[in-house]
Amino acid sequence: MLKIENLHVSVDGKAILKGIDLEIAPGEVHAIMGPNGSGKSTLSYVLAGREGYEVTKGRVLFEGEDLMEMDPEARAAKGVFLAFQYPVEIPGVNNVYFLKAAVNAIRRARGEAELDAIQFMKYAREKAKTVQLPQELLKRAVNSGFSGGEKKRNEIFQMAALEPKLAILDETDSGLDIDALRIVSDGVNALRSEERAMLVITHYQRLLDYIVPDKVHVLVGGKIAKSGDKELAKELESTGYAEIQAQA
Amino acid sequence: MTDRVEGLMAAVPAEPRGEGPEWLQGLRREATATLRSTGFPGKKHEAWRFTSVRDVVGTTYETAEADDGAQAFVDETLGDDGTFRLVLAEGRLAAASGAPAGVSVRSLAEVLENEPSLVEPVLGKLAPAEHFAALSSALFEDGAVVVFEKNAVVETPVHLVHVASPGAAPKASYPRVVVLAREGSQATLVESFLTRDGEAKHLTNTVCEVQVGANARLDHARITDGTPRALQLAYLSVALDRDAFYGSRVVSLGGGLTRLELTTRFIGPGSEAHLDGVYHVDGSEHVDHQVRVEHAAGHCTSHVRYRGLLDGRGHAVFNAMGIVQRDAQQSAAHQENRNLLLSDDATIDTKPHLEIDADDISASHGATIGTVDESSLFYMRSRGVPESQARDILTFAFVRELIDRIAHAPLVKRASDRVLDRLPHGDAIRELTE
């Protein structure tokens, strides 16, 4: 589904990603771990299409198409979703209206009929239930005044509503207490399916106790230094990144 | 001075109007003398640097007569908005019956005839004594007096609708409003300014003086719909006694010239004022807000938050002046002005500033001019919302956030609708947000 080949990315002329190769098949969950500054968030942003990230070499194919050629909204329409590390607060924009605009834009792009206000409200309520998002947050401005846990839950709620093919979770666990982590993980696990791939980016091994990955990659200095199965995460937990960093 | 006076000054009589109590005659005499000696402001006056009144002053106006069709026009334009509504056609209050309990609304002319002592402590005492405020004091004939009685809690908003009816030749009107929110009262006041279609220029020169009593809470929305022919100059002068709250929600939508000089003065400790404003200019419209806050007593808090959308060749001016006097310790004075530039040809002159003589206070001021927030834009696009639609939604949200603070839901809707009517893709945004 996703094929990253020798990806090099610079920000402000500074090389951040220095040759990433990664292939994710439908139904798989891959975890990317790594120390601060290793390029984890750069990878998530470049996949979602944020401006300011220059691909200097390599390519990214999503279902055979060149992802880097597409606008962010076109990527979303193809089924790419990024759960932000720091979800953006948008005062003045109602959460449910925003999501309706997003869902209907994607439905339009897929040639499906748009949902009207009543249909959408019903849909949103159901999705909110699956991720245990309090109903009152639907009517508030997007992420505005939400707690850290509420923001992350709102990301997973949006993911549930948009039903992406590839979900990228950028440090969705950072800053969460154990209860919030469980709720967010349950929401993510409920969305695992044969057709859906996930790329889980995290700083902490703890998340992978809740969202168990098929593969684990360690990102160091803009390159994947090591790949393995879920046991690799446990190994890292005991040895830390220092050893891999030294090898890299 | 020549024998033949032209332009706006022609409206000022050599001898002031003679009727009424002595204090009123004194006010009129002084206003007339001030006008005759200092005239109208020019570019060298700091508060008028970016707003030219040459056209306003150079025009000779007829005094506007009340328009019989005003009430029907208002009913048609505003529909049922759940307020206690009164129409001031060219500054004249027609009928005022059926006010909610705890409120009285009377014609200013009637009060001056029968009970002038009611307004004596306020009329001409809060507003500035020069320029167009002096013009009002010299010339006003009528207007409204709104009294919220002591400890009255008034749920239904009181709504004064000012209607200007331009004609074939330039006309001017001078609505004058006095608001007395007595101790412990709690109420919402709304003023709407509507201009009917018409050929010639129309000057509406408004002065509103508001006294907020001790421990009273007054929320005051002020919605101005501009038209190209409408020249709307307004003064809103507010004095807050101790432990009072005043919320000002200004919405100024275009117009040939729309200017508001809002002065809020804390005269007792423990009070708070939230001064919010939203404006939009397009075409060759000109909107000017001058917001002055005077902390003359300690332990008071002021928040000035103005936001503007600037399109076409529109010109907006924002000037905030926060004054904290030496004895006004424990004051908090905050000013923020943010602008979204929607066109390369629009102009904003913004200058929030503070003058502080006390040392134990908190204060901040800032102004921004920019385009929609890039991180919000990317967030929305990453969820599939097309860029142009995301920009539209964010543009509206920028002002909607402040409009939402208006105390009465039907007014939030009306103000939002009027903004949307003026925005490109407004209908599409409306669809998304309904």
The pLDDT value given to residue B434? 66
The pLDDT value given to residue B3? 44
pLDDT in tens, A220-231: 999 999 999 988
The pLDDT value given to residue B4? 53
Nearest to B27 by CA among B36, B14, B18: B18
The pLDDT value given to residue B400? 93
CA-nearest residue to A108 within chain B is B384
Q: State how far the alpha carbon of B221 is from the alpha carbons of A107, B142, B247, B276, B291, in Å.
A: 40, 21, 8, 9, 15
pLDDT in tens, B185-226: 999 999 999 999 999 999 999 999 999 999 999 999 999 998
Number of domains into which chain B is organized: 2
pLDDT in tens, B216-243: 999 999 999 989 999 999 999 999 999 9
Q: At which of B209, B232, B267 does a domain end?
A: B267
Whether B1 is covered by a domain: the verdict is no
What span, in angstroms and rounded, lies between the C-alpha atoms of B114 and B28? 19
Whether residue B392 is found in the same domain as residue B249: no
Residues 6 or more apart in contact with residue B123 via CB below 8 angstroms: B24, B27, B176, B178, B209
Interface predicted TM-score (ipTM) of this complex, two decimals: 0.95
Q: At which of B240, B267, B294 does a domain end?
A: B267
What span, in angstroms and rounded, lies between the C-alpha atoms of B430 and A123? 21
Using a CB–CB cutoff of 8 Å, tell me whether A76 touches chain B.
yes
Give the predicted TM-score (pTM) of the model: 0.89
The Cα angle at residue B233 between residues B232 and B234, in degrees rounded to 5: 115
Whether residue B262 is found in the same domain as residue B376: no
Whether B321 is covered by a domain: the verdict is no
Nearest to A197 by CA among A217, A223, A218, A169: A169
The pLDDT value given to residue B209? 98
What span, in angstroms and rounded, lies between the C-alpha atoms of B424 and B221? 25
Q: What is the CATH number of the domain that holds A176?
A: 3.40.50.300
Number of domains into which chain A is organized: 1
Ranges of residues in chain B whose predicted pLDDT is under 50: 1-3
Whether B363 is covered by a domain: the verdict is no
Task: Determine the 3-state secondary structure of A65 from DSSP.
Answer: strand
Q: Which domain holds residue A81?
A: 2-247
Is B393 or A236 the better-scoring residue by pLDDT? Answer: B393
The pLDDT value given to residue B184? 98
The pLDDT value given to residue A191? 92
CB contact under 8 A, A98 and B398: no
The pLDDT value given to residue B153? 98
CB contact under 8 A, A76 and B383: yes
Residue numbers in A near B389 (CB within 8 A): 101, 105
Whether B319 is covered by a domain: the verdict is no
Whether B309 is covered by a domain: the verdict is no
Whether B3 is covered by a domain: the verdict is no
DSSP labels, B178-210: EEEE-TT-EEEEEEEEEE---SS-EEEEEEEEE
**A2: confidence class by pLDDT, cuts 50, 70, 90:** very high
Is B17 or A2 the better-scoring residue by pLDDT? Answer: A2
What span, in angstroms and rounded, lies between the C-alpha atoms of A140 and A134? 11
CB contact under 8 A, A92 and B382: no
What span, in angstroms and rounded, lies between the C-alpha atoms of B54 and B162? 25
**A236: confidence class by pLDDT, cuts 50, 70, 90:** confident
Residue numbers in B near A98 (CB within 8 A): 380, 383, 385, 393
Residue numbers in A near B397 (CB within 8 A): 90-93, 141
Nearest by CB to residue B384, choosing from A73, A87, A94, is A73
Mean pLDDT confidence for A87-113? 92
Whether B347 is covered by a domain: the verdict is no
Q: Which domain holds residue B110?
A: 8-267
What span, in angstroms and rounded, lies between the C-alpha atoms of A198 and B71? 63
Residues 6 or more apart in contact with residue A198 via CB below 8 angstroms: A28, A29, A30, A166, A167, A168, A169, A188, A192, A211
**A130: confidence class by pLDDT, cuts 50, 70, 90:** confident
Whether B330 is covered by a domain: the verdict is no
Residue numbers in B near A76 (CB within 8 A): 381-384
Give the position of tokens 């500035």.
Answer: B128
Query: Virtual CA dihedral for A113, A117, A123, A128, nearest 10 degrees?
Result: 140
Whether residue B196 is found in the same domain as residue B49: yes
Nearest to B313 by CA among B337, B288, B285, B351: B285
pLDDT in tens, A58-68: 999 999 999 99
Mean pLDDT confidence for A69-73? 96
Using a CB–CB cutoff of 8 Å, tell me whether A236 touches chain B.
no
Task: Determine the 3-state secondary structure of B368 from DSSP.
Answer: strand
Q: State how far the alpha carbon of B372 is from the alpha carbons of A73, A82, B34, B429, in Å.
A: 17, 21, 46, 15
The pLDDT value given to residue B1? 38
DSSP labels, B98-134: -PPTTEEEEEHHHHHHH-GGGTTTTTTTSS-SSHHHH
Surface-to-core class of residue B6, CB atoms within 10 Å of its CB (0-12 exposed, 13-18 middle, 19+ buried): exposed
pLDDT in tens, A169-202: 999 998 889 988 998 899 899 999 999 999 999 9
Q: At which of B244, B267, B290 does a domain end?
A: B267
Q: Determine how many CB atoms are found less than 10 A away from the CB of residue A196.
A: 20
The pLDDT value given to residue A215? 96
Residue numbers in B near A92 (CB within 8 A): 396-401, 404
Q: H or E stretch including B344?
A: none
